[in-house]
Amino acid sequence: MGRVLVMLTAAAAVVACSVATVMVRRRVRRRRKWRKVVGLLKDLEESFETPLGRLRQMVDAIAVEMQAGLVSEGGSKLKMLLTFVDDLPNGSERGTYYALHLGGSYFRIIRVHLGGQRSSLEVQDIERHSIPTSLLNSTSEVLFDFLASSLQRFIEKEGHDSISSQDVKRELAFTFSFPVKQTSLSSGVLIKWTKGFAISEMAGEDIAECLQGAVDRRGLDIHVAALVNDTVGALSYGHYHDPDTIAAVVFGTGSNACYLERTDAIIKCQNPRTTSGSMVVNMEWGNFWSSRLPRTSYDIELDAESLNSNDMGFEKMIGGMYLGDIVRRVILRMSQESDIFGPISSILSTPFVLRTNSVSAMHEDDTPELHEVATILKHLGVPKVPLKVRKLVVKICDVVTRRAARLAAAGISGILKKLGRDGSVGEGRRRSSDKQMMRTVVAVEGGLYSNYRMFREYMDEALRDILGDDVARQVVIKAMEDGSSIGSALLLASSHSVRTISNI
Ligand code: ADP
Ligand code: MG
């Protein structure tokens, strides 16, 4: 009996030892795996780094490229397009105007009434709809007929006191958020599609004419009287409220900027025909490129697999359409190189399956257990990962968004530098601290900016880092909800009042 007991005890000890060994081995393996993940994260952080010195080089590069783009057509990747907008709205405009805004993800239709004073601006109606994805690679006819039918529905629901009963044609501004070579305020040809649009045989077409044709085919009493880049709309709205507004930036599906330039600096345009001595220039900054941009293997892959590879390099690092996909690519690579996310999810391999609104939801998840992160990962086919892995995902979102926001800040600082408003020592200029800095307002619009707090905070922080506190205090970043759409209608109104006055 005693011997049996001894043998049983010995056997139990052996089993316990083996279990312990297995557990220790597993723990060691897990630790080793986690160390690998920590290494991957470190590499990620390094490759996405945007130290201040590098941002400053980018600021210089942007200012230089802006100059090159103003000197000659094709002189820079920045197209620096003429807009034929010289007078910006100032609050004295009157009348009822419409705008149809085709963005990257949404289209909006608005009707505004202006009573001749800033305070009397009334947005009478505004509609916002997602652009059906089937339109993105449809035909010109399908796209413009869709827009015209939406306009038709919009005006059909107007009340009897509306403009329709006054026997006046409706005046509409077409806010268009793709690169256009303007030939006047009311006409311009598409240079190329961006942001996932791929409607063939449209480059070179007059965009305003396309919409007017579709509107006429439906017998609508609408005159497409202005073709306005969305950034120019945002600038108009900003200027309407605050005359110190000299630039506008859109951070939405894509990203772009415009600013007010002296006509004598637009060397490529011999006869700019403006009365104010300045003209708004649409930078098309999404196409900015510099060897100083922190380009990673994720960016290279994203670009190679995109519809417009070798194009819009800056936009692909900061645009709302792309941030989610960069985060997806990082998670996918980590799940391939370690098994911390469990078996590799096929959903994770689907381009654009992770959207930037999910990135901000994960990044700003303030629940102790990171419930939002868990839910989104589950939708990506990655269920039940431990808390430390969820924390890792938040960190990935942080790394990708922080880079985007800091690059965005460098872009804005580049415009300020070009205008001599960044406080740096310029040709024959004194340091800003020696003189009174001019107050400068930059209008900002777009779903990425307005909905993603961490993006805004990182951008503000980087602006202060780049410009220094004294200069940054003079630079006001003003969010303009629906500014592109409303501002385009204001711009149309202002061009009408100029015409009315000059006709007298
Ligand atoms: P558009 O680009 O069509 O003019 P918006 O300016 O509204 O439209 O921008 C839409 C884009 O903003 C979306 O494609 C998305 O990338 C980004 N976005 C929207 N909501 C959020 C959010 N909650 N967090 C982060 N990004 C967002
Ligand atoms: Mg937009």
SS3 per residue for 437-479:
CCCEEEEEECHHHHHCHHHHHHHHHHHHHHHCHHHHHHEEEEE
From the CA of 107, the nearest ligand is: 1
**Bridge partners, 125 (sequence order):** 111
Ligand 1 contact via 450 beta carbon (within 6 Å): no
Q: Is 451 in the pocket of ligand 1 (CB under 6 A)?
A: yes
Q: Is the pTM of this model over 0.85?
A: yes
Cβ burial, residue 214 (10 Å; 0-12/13-18/19+): buried
Structural contact between residues 229 and 282, judged by C-beta atoms closer than 8 angstroms: yes
Phi and psi dihedrals of 45, rounded to 5? -60, -40
Q: Looking at residue 206, what DSSP letter applies?
A: B
Per-residue pLDDT of the chain (504 residues; tens, 9 = 90+): 567 666 666 666 666 666 666 666 666 667 777 888 899 999 999 999 999 999 999 999 999 999 999 999 999 999 999 999 998 999 999 999 999 999 999 999 999 999 999 888 999 999 999 999 999 999 999 999 999 999 999 999 887 555 555 567 899 999 999 999 999 999 999 999 999 999 988 899 999 999 999 999 999 999 999 999 999 999 999 999 999 999 999 999 999 999 999 999 999 987 767 778 999 999 999 999 999 999 999 999 999 999 999 999 999 999 999 999 999 999 999 999 988 999 999 999 999 999 999 999 999 999 999 999 999 999 999 998 999 999 999 999 999 999 999 999 999 999 999 999 998 865 444 444 445 678 999 999 999 999 999 999 999 999 999 999 999 999 999 999 999 999 999 999 999 875 443 333
Residue 140, exposed/middle/buried by CB under 10 A (0-12, 13-18, 19+)? Answer: middle
* Ligand nearest the Cα atom of residue 322: 1
Q: Which of 448, 480, 484 to mutate to test the pocket of ligand 1 (most atoms within 8 A of CB)?
A: 448
Judge if the beta carbon of residue 324 lies within 6 A of ligand 1: no
3-state secondary structure of 286: helix
Give the closest residue (by CA) to ligand 1 atom 6: 446
| Ligand 1 neighbour 298 (Cβ under 6 A) | no
With a 6 Å cutoff on the Cβ, whether 252 touches ligand 1 is yes
At 231, the amino acid letter reads T
Q: Which ligand is nearest to the CA of 230?
A: 2
What's the 331 CA to ligand 1 centre distance in angstroms? 22
Q: Ligand 2 center to residue 45 CA distance, Å?
A: 30
Q: Measuring from atom 25 of ligand 1, which residue has the nearest CA?
A: 357
Taking every pair of Cα atoms in the chain, the longest distance, rounded to a whole number of angstroms, is 121
Determine the distance from the C-alpha atom of residue 143 to the mean position of all C-alpha atoms in its chain, rounded to a whole number. 22
CA of 230 to the centre of ligand 2 (A): 6
233 Cβ inside 6 Å of ligand 1: no
Q: For the purposes of burial, counting CB atoms within 10 Å of the CB of 365, is it exposed (0-12), middle (13-18) or buried (19 or more)?
A: buried
Q: CA dihedral in degrees (278, 280, 284, 288; nearest 10)?
A: 40
233 alpha carbon, closest ligand? 2
Q: How far is the CA of 233 from the centre of ligand 2 (A)?
A: 10
> Would you state the structure tokens that stand for residue 415, as one six-digit string?
């415009």
